[in-house]
Structure 1
Amino acid sequence: MARKKYDWHCGNRTVHLGEKTRVMGILNVTPDSFSDGGHFADPEIAVQHALQMVEDGAAIIDIGGESTRPGAEPVSVKEEIRRTVPIIEKIREHTEVLISIDTMKSETAFHALEAGADIINDVSGFEADDQMVNVAAASEAGVILMHMKGTPQTMQQNPSYEDAVTEVFQYLEKRITFAVSRGVVRERIVVDPGIGFGKTLEHNLQLLRGIPDLEKTAPVLIGASRKSMIGKLLEREDPSSRLAGSLGIAGWSAVSGAHILRVHDVLDTCDVCRIVDTLCTGDL
C-alpha cells in the first residue's frame, strides 16, 4: 500500500490522513436507521456509546438524526436539530474527539457546528440544500462529499451506470470543484463514493476495487459497515450478523488506500486497521 498523505483541515484542527487508517464511529440518534435504529435515541445512552467508541479507538464520531437508508422518509429540520445538537453538546463536554454531523440540511449543520461539531458529512454532496456550501465555507469546517444517485426514497430503484467507477469519480471531482468555487478550501474536503447509495451489489464491488484510483485525487472515506451488499454476499439478513463481512471490507479498503472507515463496530475495525497498517508500512 502506497497511500497518499493529506492534511485534512477541520476548523482550527488538522488531521493527518494516510499515515494510518482513521476510524469514524457511527452514532445514529434515529428511530429508523437500518442497523441500529432506536438503540441510541436516549441522549444519555447515545453519549455513553460515543465515549465508548472513542475509548475503542474512534478518531471521529459521526452523528446522524435522519435515516438515509433506502426508502427512509425525511424528517424536519427542527426534529433533526432536536435529536442531534444536545448530544453534540454533551459529547463535547467530555472529549475533544472530532465530531461530524451527518446531515443534508444547512440549518442543522450550522447549529451542530455551533454546538461543537467539526465536520459536515453531506450524503447529497451539497446538492440537497443550496445553502450548505455557504455554511461550510463560512465555518471552515471539514467536509465530506458523498455520491448518491437519486434520493434515499428513490436511489435503489434500478440504479444503472455505463461505468460506475468513472461516473462516480467524475461526479465527486465536480462537487469538489463546485465547493472550492464557493469558498471551501480543497484541503477541507474528503470524498465518499457512497457504497449502497444508488448502487447494485456489482456497482459497490466495482467502487471498492476502484479505491486506488480515487485516493490519488482526494482523501477517501468508505462506509460499508453492515450494509445490504454484505448481507447479499454472505446471506445474512440481520445487519447485526454482518460483522465478519464488514471487517473484510474494512481490511480491503484500508489496504487499497482508503483514509477513513465509517463503521458501527469500532473496536474490531481498529484492530483490523492496526494489523493492516503494520503489515503495509512496517511500523509497529
Structure 2
Amino acid sequence: MGIVNVTPDSFSDGGLWLDPEKAVEHGIDLVERGADLVDVGGESTRPGAARVTTQEELRRVLPVVRGLVADGVPVSIDTMRAEVAEAAVAAGARLINDVSGGLADPSMAGVAAWTGVPFVVMHWRGPSAAMDGFAGYEDVVREVVGEVERRMDAVGAQGVDPEQIILDPGLGFAKSRADDWALLGGLDAFARLGRPVLMGASRKRFLGTLLADPTTGAPRPARARDAATAAVATLVAAQGAWAVRVHDVASSADAVRVAAAVTPTARSSSGRVGPSAWAGRVG
C-alpha cells in the first residue's frame, strides 16, 4: 500500500503532493514501483496534529481519488470521517482506511456497512493532538489485541460484515517506542482474530530513535528511514501480514518479495504477495 498524503503537515512528506496533478502522478509512480493499492489521505494524523474541516479534506482528496481511479489505480481512502469515506467510495475508492477504527465518527461503520468495501479497523485510543498521553500498557500485545477485538464486535453490531474487516495494530498511535517493538514481535497474536493485518511502520518515530546519531542522539530524519521500513516489511510479511503501508514502495516491495520467496504460502495465485481473495477484492 503506497501512501499519497495530500497534506501540508504530514511528518515526512507534508506539502509535497498538495497539487492534485502531482499527487496523481505520484500515485501512478507508486504503482509502477510495486504498489498494489494507493492510500490517499487529506488530514495528517502525526502526533500533535490538529484536525482540518470536512470541506477542506474533501477538497484535497476527491480530485486525487478521481484522477487515480480514472487511470485504473486501485485506491483506498485514509480518513476518519464518514462523509469523506462515502464521497471517496462514490468516486471509485475500493477500501476505507480509518485510523480511529470507527471511533472518531459514529457514522463511519454505517458507511462501511452499506458500501460493502474492505474496512481497516486500527487500534486507536484518542485524537492525534493528545494521543501520546493515552499510551500506557501492562501487556501491550494482549491489550491491543483485546481492544481491537472489541472494535471488531462494535462495528459488526453496526452492520459491518466481519469479512470486510482488516486489522491494524496502530504502530505509533498511543504507543511508546517499546510498545511498537513489542507489537512487531507479537504480530502472531492477532492471528486468533482471523482477519488480514495491515502494518503501518513507514518512517515512524520508533525507527528514527533506533537509528539515532550515535554522537548527538538526534533521531534519524524521517525520509532516511526507508531501509529500516523495508526491514520491517520483511519481518511482518514473514509473519503473514496482508499488507504494509509505506512511503517508499520500491524498497519494501523488493523486501516483501524476498520474504514471499522464503515463505511460498504468502504468495497469491497471481504471483503477488498477500491472500489471493483479498487481492482480487480490492485490487
TM-score by length of 1: 0.89
Q: Which of 179, 191, 199 is equivalent to 1:203?
A: 179
Q: Which of 14, 19, 43 is equivalent to 1:37?
A: 14
Matched AA of 2:188:
P
Map of 2:31 onto structure 1: 54
Map of 2:202 onto structure 1: 225
In 2, are the aligned partners of 1:47 and 1:90 still within 8 Å (CA)?
yes
| Aligned: 1:245 with 2:228 | yes
State the shift of 1:178 in Å: 1.3
**Count, aligned residues:** 260
State the shift of 1:228 in Å: 0.6
Matched AA of 1:160:
G
Give deviations 1:83-116, integer Å, cap 9, x for gaps: 0011101111111x32111111111111111111
Q: How does 1:1-284 map to 2 (within 5 A)?
A: 24-95=1-72, 97-157=73-133, 159-217=135-193, 218-235=195-212, 236-281=219-264
Give deviations 1:185-237, integer Å, cap 9, x for gaps: 11110000000001001100111111112134211010000001000001143
Q: Equivalents in 2 of 1:182, 1:200: separation in Å? A: 31
Q: Equivalents in 2 of 1:167, 1:260: separation in Å? A: 22
State the shift of 1:158 in Å: 6.4
Q: Equivalents in 2 of 1:111, 1:225: separation in Å? A: 27
CA spacing shift, 1:158–1:125, aligned 2, 3 Å: closer
Give deviations 1:155-186, integer Å, cap 9, x for gaps: 11362111111111011111111111111111
Matched AA of 1:67:
S
Q: Equivalents in 2 of 1:264, 1:166: separation in Å? A: 29
SS of alignment partner, residue 46 of structure 1: helix
SS of alignment partner, residue 131 of structure 2: coil
**Which is richer in strand?**
1
CA spacing shift, 1:50–1:89, aligned 2, 3 Å: same
Matched AA of 1:224:
A
Matched AA of 1:40:
W
Map of 1:17 onto structure 2: none
In 1, are the aligned partners of 2:227 and 2:251 still within 8 Å (CA)?
no
- Unmatched runs of 5 consecutive residues or more in structure 2: 213-218, 272-283
In 1, are the aligned partners of 2:141 and 2:189 still within 8 Å (CA)?
no
Identity %: 43
SS of alignment partner, residue 263 of structure 1: coil
Q: Equivalents in 2 of 1:108, 1:272: separation in Å? A: 33
Q: Equivalents in 1 of 2:248, 2:33: separation in Å? A: 9
In 2, are the aligned partners of 1:156 and 1:199 still within 8 Å (CA)?
yes
Instruction: Give the alignment's Cα RMSD to 1 decimal.
Output: 1.3
Give deviations 1:110-144, integer Å, cap 9, x for gaps: 11111111111111110111111111111111100
In 2, are the aligned partners of 1:215 and 1:258 still within 8 Å (CA)?
no
